Chains A and B, each alone.
Chain A
């Protein structure tokens, strides 16, 4: 282990009744990496990251974040320790303005009295929404709402940014901008990316983890995964 592990799980499981959505996952994410999490629909990816950030409780196993066992911590405490999660289905505050949305993300980490506006503007500028700051979030085009979602993640200046299918519904041009954005963000943030668009994965990921039927079936560099027979079967046959 060269780099420090920012996030680890051991034997992490989640059962819904008889369904084993996630089963005994051991997972390690070193600080500074961009990790992609891929797998067919229903493989357990979203369940897995939902357990990481505390949206849903674990059935068994442990989660360690920045050297601390966070398995029993409620979501907001994990977020306060430096996780951020952007939703697969856009989940902005649609009745509030763009600026208010990001402000809510920013103020959760700021000390009382610190200046919000600068931080908000910075996050908006990164995703290119600075000109739409006063619009009502619900009125934005879908792609812009996705960008706002990411800006809210950035506004938290997290140590770990979990992006759940961030490029879904974006145009090709927007996807390219997104890739550039994440490369920039990754300079000082560890990123865990659930992504279906394989081009995005190949362009960004340092390492890829593949899940199927709730288990990790492969892990390696993009090149290794590309050549892995099990992965091919999972996608084509499974």
Chain B
């Protein structure tokens, strides 16, 4: 109910928001899909990845290169981007899940760095760090111009709604409960008869694929593809979003993304040290609000919140 309400509210906001915030919200929805993907791994399965930028970029470049190299329309190219992210997350999952804890964090970080360097290495194809543009005239699906603000907003909203409901379905499913069990105590989950490794692999693939969908959508909706999305800070970003919004809550990633976006937007008008502001927020969170905004809401008021 709450989640359908959020979707309805977002539909309504399309009609009443001033242009600036309207544009921001479209962006926030796409970025929160990235965060929701991250949350599947971190918030539910308890796997802390420091390399999620690679999945976002896999989707972005899977889509972008399809358009750039083979002139594939953005619709099919978007799907190719999602498949690219799914394939990458499967490979990374198979290899990285041989490790746990800090080693897992480092392995994901290294993989992500490898993806970044690969993009630079294939400069003639990818235009390296400079990136490339998805021209406005090709950014159309079924005759709808995705560079038009209204269309863009609804495209972002549809993606967001699908992912939100998918996560909701997941956490209410058997598999979702097992992920939580793995997060809480993997050994115990294994000795209740669950193939925890397979569940974790599935979580990595779902998480990576969703991050890739966000990356592909970002390229399609905002028209540029670039290697900076593969850099380390872009892997930290979804972690911040999720920590702030509430790990292991369905709606938390959206709330966290929304807060962080405006925190950055406002703080960078007031001070150059917007990264410092983000850092302080992170420290305060880990010290005083480990469960994030929606985690606290759940603890205090809405115990049923998934």
Which stretch (A106-114, A124-132, A226-234) binds chain B?
A: A106-114
At the interface, yes or no: B174 with Cβ under 8 Å from chain A? yes
Task: From B174, B192, B195, B196, give the contact of A156 (CB < 8 A).
Answer: B192
At the interface, yes or no: B191 with Cβ under 8 Å from chain A? yes
At the interface, yes or no: B3 with Cβ under 8 Å from chain A? no
Which stretch (A12-20, A40-48, A75-83, A206-214) binds chain B?
A: A75-83
Interface of B: prevailing SS: helix
Find chain A residues with CB under 8 A from B277 CB. Answer: none
Structural contact, B191 and A75, CB atoms closer than 8 A: yes
At the interface, yes or no: B184 with Cβ under 8 Å from chain A? yes
Query: In the complex, what's the smallest C-beta–C-beta distance from B200 to chain A, in angstroms?
Result: 12
Task: From B174, B177, B190, give the contact of A76 (CB < 8 A).
Answer: B190
Find chain B residues with CB under 8 A from A103 CB. Answer: 177
A226–B192 Cα distance when bound, in Å, is: 35
Find chain B residues with CB under 8 A from A109 CB. Answer: 193
Query: In the complex, what's the smallest C-beta–C-beta distance from A84 to chain B, in angstroms?
Result: 8
Find chain B residues with CB under 8 A from A92 CB. Answer: 185, 188
| Contact pattern, A 193-228, Cβ under 8 Å of B = 1, otherwise 0 | 000000000000000000000000000000000000
Query: In the complex, what's the smallest C-beta–C-beta distance from B292 to chain A, in angstroms?
Result: 15
User: Closest 6 interchain pairs by CB?
Assistant: A79-B193, A108-B193, A93-B184, A80-B193, A91-B188, A76-B195
At the interface, yes or no: B194 with Cβ under 8 Å from chain A? yes
Query: In the complex, what's the smallest C-beta–C-beta distance from B171 to chain A, in angstroms?
Result: 12
Query: In the complex, what's the smallest C-beta–C-beta distance from B194 to chain A, in angstroms?
Result: 6
Structural contact, B191 and A55, CB atoms closer than 8 A: yes
Structural contact, B191 and A85, CB atoms closer than 8 A: yes
At the interface, yes or no: B178 with Cβ under 8 Å from chain A? yes
A96–B171 Cα distance when bound, in Å, is: 14
**14 A–B pairs (Cβ distance < 8 Å), ordered by A:** A53-B191, A55-B191, A75-B191, A76-B190, A80-B193, A85-B191, A87-B188, A95-B184, A104-B177, A104-B181, A104-B189, A104-B192, A107-B174, A109-B193
At the interface, yes or no: A123 with Cβ under 8 Å from chain B? no
| B189-211 CB contacts (< 8 Å) to partner A | 189-196
| Contact pattern, A 127-167, Cβ under 8 Å of B = 1, otherwise 0 | 00000000000000000000000001000100000000000
Knowing that A87-B191, A92-B185 are A-B contacts, what are 17 other residue pairs whose CB atoms are under 8 Å apart, sorted by A's residue number? A55-B191, A74-B190, A74-B195, A75-B190, A75-B191, A76-B190, A76-B193, A76-B195, A76-B196, A91-B188, A93-B185, A93-B188, A96-B184, A104-B192, A107-B177, A108-B194, A112-B174
Instruction: Return the chain A residue nearest B184 by Cβ.
Output: A93
Query: In the complex, what's the smallest C-beta–C-beta distance from B185 to chain A, in angstroms?
Result: 6
Query: In the complex, what's the smallest C-beta–C-beta distance from B114 to chain A, in angstroms?
Result: 30
| B90-136 CB contacts (< 8 Å) to partner A | none
Total number of residue pairs linking A and B with CB closer than 8 Å: 55
**What count of chain B residues pass the 8 Å CB interface test?**
17
At the interface, yes or no: B180 with Cβ under 8 Å from chain A? yes
Query: In the complex, what's the smallest C-beta–C-beta distance from A195 to chain B, in angstroms?
Result: 19
At the interface, yes or no: B71 with Cβ under 8 Å from chain A? no
A100–B303 Cα distance when bound, in Å, is: 14
**What count of chain A residues pass the 8 Å CB interface test?**
26
Query: In the complex, what's the smallest C-beta–C-beta distance from A162 to chain B, in angstroms?
Result: 10
At the interface, yes or no: B187 with Cβ under 8 Å from chain A? yes
A105–B193 Cα distance when bound, in Å, is: 8
Structural contact, B192 and A79, CB atoms closer than 8 A: yes
| Contact pattern, A 1-24, Cβ under 8 Å of B = 1, otherwise 0 | 000000000000000000000000
| Contact pattern, A 49-78, Cβ under 8 Å of B = 1, otherwise 0 | 000010100000000000000000011110
Find chain A residues with CB under 8 A from B194 CB. Answer: 76, 108
Structural contact, A91 and B195, CB atoms closer than 8 A: no
At the interface, yes or no: A94 with Cβ under 8 Å from chain B? yes
A175–B267 Cα distance when bound, in Å, is: 61
A85–B192 Cα distance when bound, in Å, is: 8
Find chain B residues with CB under 8 A from A55 CB. Answer: 187, 191
Structural contact, A93 and B193, CB atoms closer than 8 A: no
Query: In the complex, what's the smallest C-beta–C-beta distance from A130 to chain B, in angstroms?
Result: 20
Structural contact, B192 and A96, CB atoms closer than 8 A: no
Find chain A residues with CB under 8 A from B187 CB. Answer: 55, 91
Structural contact, B180 and A96, CB atoms closer than 8 A: yes
A6–B128 Cα distance when bound, in Å, is: 63
Answer whether A94 and B184 are a contact pair too, CB < 8 Å, given A76-B190, A107-B177: yes
Query: In the complex, what's the smallest C-beta–C-beta distance from B190 to chain A, in angstroms?
Result: 5
Instruction: Return the chain B residue nearest A105 by Cβ.
Output: B192
Query: In the complex, what's the smallest C-beta–C-beta distance from B98 to chain A, in angstroms?
Result: 14
